[in-house]
């Protein structure tokens, strides 16, 4: 395109445009934009009108992406130009005999990715342009583009509540689909948008029952993400959605809420549909099975407190496993289920195993026997239904243990070596602190010669005790590591390894306390600074506790 002509369209210089009116139709940019595209992009209404008067057919021309000037104006939010283009097309309708709907035809034109002008206006949140486009053609359904996005879906996904209202209140039958078979309501729920969700439900309550390509309804997503209020809105619109299962796993929203541990959503679902807890998924697992399998302790406690029914606690899935079997096979221990009076400790699964059998066969999760002891204390017993097979399995296990004996302990020993270094460093530090005490020693001749200056202060006494504790625990841990260094018994090694590990944790805590109290003793005359040191030092304990729990 000629530079002067492009600048004239960009700056709205109508005089230059008029001087070159014979050249307008043939002047194109590298993207095949006409001067009308350029004028529409930069929002010059007078230039747009003049170009249309000089070249009436230019309003339908498209660039290399298939955009008309209306697409450009809607994308940029130039509502005056959108209105002018619509009015111009309507004027052409009146001039033609048996008008062919030029304005509607222009607004329904889609570009290379099947976006209409309304797609562009909605995507860029231009409310006035959306109003103009929908009011002019309310009967049009505004279908999806190549990405399966309808304008209504885009508005809901982006949280443009005002645009959702405009489309629903103006258009008679707007399309509402989105990618993956989702609807605008799916999107509103996924993004937890209250206004969009309620407006869509008010407009079309049946949307709550429409499932996407995975068979998930909007309620499935509300349960998955723990959106209690969105779940309430959907259930108030239609309670039956609580019983809809997905395609692959046959899970209801209740199962998803249990798998994520969303207790408040569980409460909401059950309060609306009291019998929904009876539904099992494709593997025959109820909500307690699923909560246990996913290690959601809050959900387990909630279910046991509200549904103490033997039919739920002892219900078997397709493999014959009760929730207790799944608990025994996992690394999640929940005492309320193990100690529940209605829990059947002698229930057998399809492999003729009781929960305690599962615990004993799951050595990879249970290296130190904690869960085994807890199950035994709760009254669990071995099934012993298939002694011959178990004896055979034990022989195979022992042979495999003999093969792996030199492999698995190698990693553990490497970790033990690291712990040994830590224990040694603690011992050295505490030993040094014991002979270079805070405040120093009394150098004056007399009865107190050579004693610690701060010996009579309580903080100093606490320092001495905690420093001594740290040294004793760390040296004990070192001794344990030395004793078991050459031990080939895996289980014995693991037990000693665990003991030494806990001794080091205690030694670290004692060392931190020794540092805090030692600093307090020497900073007693600066009380504010001493208190600050104590507070900051004590903050390390909850932080370390949190990190250890996660580990």
* Least confident span in 62-71, 87-96, 162-171, 229-238: 87-96
Whether the per-residue pLDDT at 498 is higher than 60: the answer is yes
| pLDDT reported for residue 366 | 47
372's tokens? 């085994």
Domain extents in the chain: 280-404, 408-550
**In angstroms, rounded to a whole number, what is the distance separating the alpha carbons of residues 118 and 53?**
25
Whether the per-residue pLDDT at 102 is higher than 80: the answer is no
| pLDDT reported for residue 404 | 44
8 A C-beta contact, residue 176 and residue 184: yes
122-136: pLDDT as tens digits: 999 999 999 999 998
DSSP state of 532: H
441-476: pLDDT as tens digits: 666 666 666 666 776 778 888 888 888 888 888 888
Whether the per-residue pLDDT at 37 is higher than 60: the answer is yes
End-to-end Cα, the chain, rounded Å: 66
Sign of CA dihedral 233, 239, 242, 245: negative
**In angstroms, rounded to a whole number, what is the distance separating the alpha carbons of residues 316 and 185?**
36
**In angstroms, rounded to a whole number, what is the distance separating the alpha carbons of residues 511 and 443?**
27
* Least confident span in 69-83, 157-171, 290-304, 480-494: 480-494
| Mean pLDDT, all residues of the chain | 83
| pLDDT reported for residue 393 | 52
Across the range 343-357, mean pLDDT stands at 87
| CA dihedral angle for residue 78, residue 80, residue 86, residue 87, rounded to 10 degrees | -170
| pLDDT reported for residue 246 | 92
Topology given in CATH for the domain delimited by 280-404: 1.25.40
* pLDDT above 70 as % of the chain: 85
| pLDDT reported for residue 443 | 65
Whether the per-residue pLDDT at 232 is higher than 90: the answer is yes
502-540: pLDDT as tens digits: 888 888 888 888 888 888 887 877 878 878 878 888 887
Across the range 266-278, mean pLDDT stands at 91
Query: In angstroms, what CA-CA distances link 542 with 474, 535, 549?
Result: 22, 12, 10
pLDDT band at 119 (very low <50, low <70, confident <90, very high): very high
* Least confident span in 39-43, 94-98, 111-115, 184-188: 94-98
pLDDT band at 406 (very low <50, low <70, confident <90, very high): very low
pLDDT band at 408 (very low <50, low <70, confident <90, very high): very low
The residue among 304, 358, 300, 360 whose CA lies nearest residue 326 is 358
Across the range 248-262, mean pLDDT stands at 93
| pLDDT reported for residue 99 | 45
Bigger pLDDT: 159 vs 392: 159
* pLDDT above 90 as % of the chain: 38
Whether the per-residue pLDDT at 241 is higher than 90: the answer is yes
Across the range 33-54, mean pLDDT stands at 87
Any residues with CB less than 8 A from the CB of 120 and at least 6 apart, and which? 71, 74, 75
Whether the per-residue pLDDT at 113 is higher than 60: the answer is yes
Length of the chain: 551
Highest mean pLDDT among 41-45, 379-383, 430-434: 41-45
| pLDDT reported for residue 94 | 64
Largest CA distance in the chain: 125
| pLDDT reported for residue 407 | 42
Count Cα neighbours of 120 within 13 Å in the Cβ-side half-sphere: 29
Residue 1 DSSP SS3: coil
């Amino acid at each position: 395109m000629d530079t002067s002509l492009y600048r004239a369209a960009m700056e709205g210089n109508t005089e230059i445009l008029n001087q070159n009116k014979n050249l307008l139709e043939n002047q194109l940019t590298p993207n095949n934009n006409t001067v009308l595209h350029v004028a529409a992009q930069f929002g010059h209404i007078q230039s747009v009108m003049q170009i249309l008067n000089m070249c009436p057919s230019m309003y339908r021309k498209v660039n290399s992406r298939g955009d008309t000037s209306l697409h450009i104006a809607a994308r940029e939010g130039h509502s005056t130009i959108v209105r002018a283009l619509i009015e111009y097309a309507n004027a052409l309708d009146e001039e033609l005999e048996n008008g062919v709907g030029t304005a509607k035809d222009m607004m329904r034109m889609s570009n290379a990715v099947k976006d209409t002008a309304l797609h562009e206006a909605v995507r860029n949140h231009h409310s006035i342009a959306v109003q103009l486009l929908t009011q002019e053609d309310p009967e049009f359904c505004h279908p999806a583009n190549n990405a399966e996005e309808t304008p209504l879906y885009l508005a809901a996904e982006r949280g443009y509540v005002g645009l959702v209202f405009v489309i629903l209140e103006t258009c008679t039958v707007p399309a509402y689909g989105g990618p993956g078979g989702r609807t605008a309501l799916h999107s509103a729920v996924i993004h937890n948008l209250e206004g969009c969700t309620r407006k869509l439900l008010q407009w079309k309550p049946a949307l709550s029952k429409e499932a996407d390509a995975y068979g998930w309804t909007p309620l499935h997503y509300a349960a998955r993400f723990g959106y209690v209020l969105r779940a309430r809105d959907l259930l108030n619109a239609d309670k039956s959605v609580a019983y809809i299962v997905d395609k692959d796993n046959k899970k209801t929203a209740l199962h998803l809420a249990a798998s994520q541990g969303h207790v408040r959503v569980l409460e909401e679902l059950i309060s609306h549909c009291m019998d929904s807890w009876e539904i099992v998924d494709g593997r025959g697992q109820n909500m307690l099975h699923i909560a246990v399998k996913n290690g959601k302790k809050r959900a387990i406690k909630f279910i046991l407190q509200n549904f103490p029914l033997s039919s739920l606690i002892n219900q078997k899935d397709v493999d014959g496993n009760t929730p207790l079997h799944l608990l025994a096979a996992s690394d999640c221990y929940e005492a309320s289920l193990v100690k529940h009076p209605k829990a059947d400790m002698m229930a057998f699964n399809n492999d003729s195993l009781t929960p305690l059998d599962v615990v004993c066969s799951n050595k990879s999760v249970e290296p130190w026997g904690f869960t085994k002891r807890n199950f035994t204390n709760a009254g669990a017993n071995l099934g012993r239904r298939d002694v011959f097979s178990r004896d055979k399995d034990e022989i195979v296990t022992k042979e495999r243990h003999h093969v792996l004996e030199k492999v698995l302990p190698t990693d553990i020993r490497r970790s033990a070596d690291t712990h040994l270094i830590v224990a040694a460093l603690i011992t050295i530090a505490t030993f040094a602190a014991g002979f270079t005490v805070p405040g120093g020693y009394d150098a004056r001749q007399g009865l107190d010669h050579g004693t610690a200056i701060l010996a009579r202060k309580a903080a100093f006494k606490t320092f001495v005790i905690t420093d001594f504790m740290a040294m004793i625990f760390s040296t004990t841990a070192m001794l344990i590591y030395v004793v078991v260094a050459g031990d080939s018994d895996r289980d014995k090694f693991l037990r000693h390894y665990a003991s030494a590990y806990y001794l080091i944790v205690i030694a670290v805590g004692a060392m931190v306390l020794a540092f805090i109290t030692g600093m307090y003793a020497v900073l007693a005359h600066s009380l504010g600074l001493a208190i600050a040191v104590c507070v900051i030092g004590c903050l390390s304990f909850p932080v370390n506790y949190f990190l250890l729990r996660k580990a």
